[in-house]
């Protein structure tokens, strides 16, 4: 965990999205000694047969897509202990752009929430596996203090602390034991799927101002070593479902009713709003064709406010070319400020909702 500064918000531009591997350090498992190194010590290890080779090949193939140095060279350094079980992302899942977007949004949200504590998250697994950041996050969101033993350098001490944190999380989230997708052991193993599933549920529980892609799944290879042989099987883990609501519940208004019961009338309202926007934006040779997407970066919103108020907004006051989620948020926030300066009440919509494309 680094506390030197804030990381930039990951871009949500899908034209050239990095794979999930680029977000991770130590994604697939812990590093073990090379056979040559073990021969200089207690003796060489044994391969677990064809199944183990399949697991190693998955990691080796996954590395072919990397243009980042964040992920160490793991494929030849992985060994399972007798009785040990590990889970690995398949190559296809590791390259899934929707899963990469989930990682982007989680890192962005964590850094926003923990900025006042000078905590910076860069790697989902390396920074969260010991439970300290999860503890800080939960203490802030729930406004509680989790009583854990003092910092311990031993692995067993870390596991005990993590167990207390995870038990607290599960109690707050109301997770039945038979439905838990994670455990202290899995998270301490830096199990990518378990950590992501936990963070997504925390984010949804506290209505984080981010919208995850719908119905994201992770295909996982489960490898277990028994009697010197590695056996594998594949499972599918659900990461996200359909996120139906972003903002906290509040007083319903006419737009809520319109979205719920009047799709035909909603289309008419959107057409009228488009006509209104274009009537003014055409003055500077701009045109909007899609309310759902073209206002979420804040550019048209800033320009429209300026046109309605009869002044030109200097281009250096906002980001005309938006390159990431953070710049969207800044633009929309600036547009809200212009509205309030014009004497309007503070908008009921949240900045993050607009930046995330919530059309309501």
- Return the pLDDT at 159: 86
* 248 belongs to a structural domain: no
List the alpha helices (DSSP H) in 206-284: 254-261, 263-281
Residues 228 and 317 in one domain: no
State the Cα–Cα distance between residues 25 and 21, nearest whole angstrom. 8
Q: Looking at the structure, tell me whether residues 40 and 117 fall in a common domain.
A: yes
Of 238, 273, 305, the last residue of a domain is 238
Q: Assign residue 176 the CATH number of its domain.
A: 1.10.418.10
The answer to whether residue 163 is domain-embedded is: yes
DSSP state of 144: -
Q: What is the pLDDT of residue 262?
A: 56
Shared-domain flag, residues 65 and 199:
yes
One domain, residues 269 and 329? yes
pLDDT at residue 216 is higher than 90? yes
Q: Which of 184, 204, 238 is the last residue of a domain?
A: 238
- Which tens digit of pLDDT belongs to each residue from 270-315? 888 888 998 999 998 998 888 878 888 899 999 999 999 999 898 8
Considering the domain architecture, whether residues 177 and 297 belong to the same structural domain is answered as no
Half-sphere exposure of 19 (CA within 13 A, CB side): 22
pLDDT band at 244 (very low <50, low <70, confident <90, very high): low
179 and 76 in a common domain: yes
pLDDT for position 254 = 52
| pLDDT of res. 49 | 54
Could you read off the pLDDT of 141-167 as tens digits, one per residue?
888 899 887 766 677 888 889 999 999
Q: With 0-12 CB in 10 A as exposed, 13-18 as middle and 19+ as buried, what is 204?
A: middle
Full residue range of the structural domain in which residue 337 is found: 254-355
How much is the average pLDDT of 308-334? 87
Q: Are residues 275 and 214 in the same domain?
A: no
Does 132 reside within a domain? yes
pLDDT for 36 equals: 40
Share of the chain above pLDDT 70, in %: 69
Torsion sign across C-alpha atoms 72, 78, 81, 85: positive
Which range (18-27, 45-54, 80-89) has the least confidence?
Answer: 18-27
The C-alpha atoms of residue 27 and residue 71 are separated, in whole angstroms, by 7
pLDDT of residue 260: 56
Residue after which a domain boundary falls, among 210, 238, 266: 238
Is there a single domain that holds both residue 73 and residue 133? yes
Q: Which residues, listed in sequence order, are joined to residue 2 by a DSSP beta bridge?
A: 120
pLDDT band at residue 333 under the 50/70/90 scheme: confident
Q: Centre a 10 Å sphere on the Cβ of residue 305 and count the other Cβ atoms it contains.
A: 21
Task: Round the average pLDDT of the chain to a whole number and report it.
Answer: 75
Cβ–Cβ under 8 Å, residues 103 and 20: yes
Please count the residues of the chain.
360
Residue 352 to residue 347: CA distance in whole angstroms = 12
Confidence of residue 28 (pLDDT cuts 50, 70, 90): very low
Statement to judge: residues 62 and 209 lie in one domain: yes
Residue 231 confidence (pLDDT): 86
Task: Answer whether residue 25 shows pLDDT above 50.
Answer: no
Q: Does 4 reside within a domain?
A: no
Q: Across residues 217-236, what is the average pLDDT?
A: 88
pLDDT of residue 305: 92
Query: CA-to-CA distance for 269 and 267, rounded, in angstroms?
Result: 5
Question: Is the same domain home to 205 and 313?
Answer: no
Between 246 and 197, the more confident residue is 197
Contact indicator for 191, 124 with CB cutoff of 8 Å: no
**Residue 259: its pLDDT value, please?**
54
Structural domain count of the chain: 2
Would residue 7 count as lying in a domain? no
pTM, whole model, 2 decimals?
0.53
- The answer to whether position 243 is within a domain reads no
pLDDT score of 344: 84
Q: Are residues 134 and 71 part of one domain?
A: yes
Among the listed ranges 29-43, 144-158, 254-268, which one has the minimum average pLDDT value? 29-43
Query: Is 5 contained in some domain?
Result: no
Mark whether 274 and 321 lie in a shared domain.
yes
Distance between CA atoms of residues 272 and 281, nearest Å: 14
Buried/exposed code over 309-331 (b: 16+ C-beta within 10 A; e: otherwise) = eeeebeeeebbeebebbbbbbbb
> How confident is the model at residue 178, as a pLDDT?
66
The pLDDT of residue 354 is: 81
In a domain, 327, yes or no: yes
pLDDT of residue 172: 84
């Amino acid at each position: 965990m680094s506390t030197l500064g804030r990381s930039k918000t990951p871009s949500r531009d899908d034209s050239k999205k990095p794979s999930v591997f680029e977000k991770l350090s130590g994604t697939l498992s812990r590093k073990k000694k090379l056979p040559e190194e073990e021969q200089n010590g207690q003796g060489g290890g044994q391969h677990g047969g064809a199944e183990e080779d399949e697991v190693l090949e998955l990691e080796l193939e996954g590395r072919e897509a990397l243009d980042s140095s964040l992920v160490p060279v793991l494929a030849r350094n992985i060994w399972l202990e007798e009785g040990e079980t590990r889970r690995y992302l398949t190559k296809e899942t590791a390259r899934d752009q929707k899963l990469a977007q989930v990682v982007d949004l989680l890192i962005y949200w964590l850094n926003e929430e923990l900025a006042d504590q000078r905590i910076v998250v860069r790697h989902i697994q390396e920074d969260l596996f010991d439970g300290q950041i999860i503890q800080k996050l939960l203490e802030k969101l729930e406004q509680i203090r989790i009583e854990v033993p003092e910092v311990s350098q031993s692995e067993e001490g870390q596991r005990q602390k993590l167990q207390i944190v995870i038990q607290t999380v599960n109690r707050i989230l109301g997770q039945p034991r038979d439905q838990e997708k994670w455990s202290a052991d899995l998270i301490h193993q830096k199990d990518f799927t378990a950590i992501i599933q936990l963070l997504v549920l925390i984010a949804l529980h506290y209505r984080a101002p981010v919208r995850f892609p719908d119905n994201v799944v992770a295909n996982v290879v489960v490898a277990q070593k028994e009697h010197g042989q590695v056996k594998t099987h594949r499972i599918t883990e659900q990461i996200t479902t359909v996120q139906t609501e972003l903002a906290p519940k509040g007083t319903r208004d006419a737009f809520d009713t319109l979205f719920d019961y009047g799709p035909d009338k909603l289309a008419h309202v959107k057409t009228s709003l488009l006509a209104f926007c274009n009537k003014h934006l055409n003055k500077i040779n701009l045109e909007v064709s899609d309310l759902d997407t073209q206002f979420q970066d804040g550019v048209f919103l800033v320009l429209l406010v300026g046109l309605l108020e009869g002044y030109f907004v200097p281009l250096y006051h906002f980001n005309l070319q938006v390159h990431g989620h953070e710049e969207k948020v800044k633009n929309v926030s600036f547009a809200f400020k212009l509205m309030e300066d014009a004497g309007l009440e503070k908008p009921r919509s949240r900045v993050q909702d607009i930046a995330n494309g919530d059309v309501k």
